[in-house]
Amino acid sequence: MQSIQPLTDIENWEVSGTDEKMQFSGVQFLMNFLGQKTAVLIELKQHGELWAAMEEETDIPLTVQFLVDEQGCKTAVLLDFEEHGEIWEDIYCNLIASLRTDEPKIPLAEVKRSLNEQGKLSG
């Protein structure tokens, strides 16, 4: 069986284009005995709105597991990378986007000009 190769570098947890390692509050990785990240635990208290949006946009498989409190309310979601890699990728991209909302914006025309100057874009 071929495992999913996510767009993100799960092992190093780096965001392409940056030198920093990203860490998110309310997100914890689970590792196997070799120290390889195999799953992620996402706290719904902090990321409940993001998870609710995912549930609306995606058919969440029945294999997704949840942690629940004494009253049976979901408190966290557990995503296994092999089974739920695509869902994690979507969540990861949303987390990155939310971190970058306060970063300075670059006008599209400036980006195109820069790419043209670098020979990465023609026209």
Residue with tokens 């999913």: 4
Flag the least confident range among 4-18, 33-47, 74-88: 4-18
Residue-wise pLDDT for 44-59, tens only, equals 999 999 999 999 998 9
- Contacting residues for 103 by C-beta, under 8 A, at least 6 apart: none
* Alpha-carbon separation of residue 86 from 5, 20, 21 (angstroms): 9, 23, 21
- Residue extents of the structural domains in the chain: 27-117
Q: What pTM does this model have?
A: 0.69
CB-based contact 3:82 (threshold 8 Å)? yes
Grade residue 23 by pLDDT with cuts at 50, 70 and 90.
confident
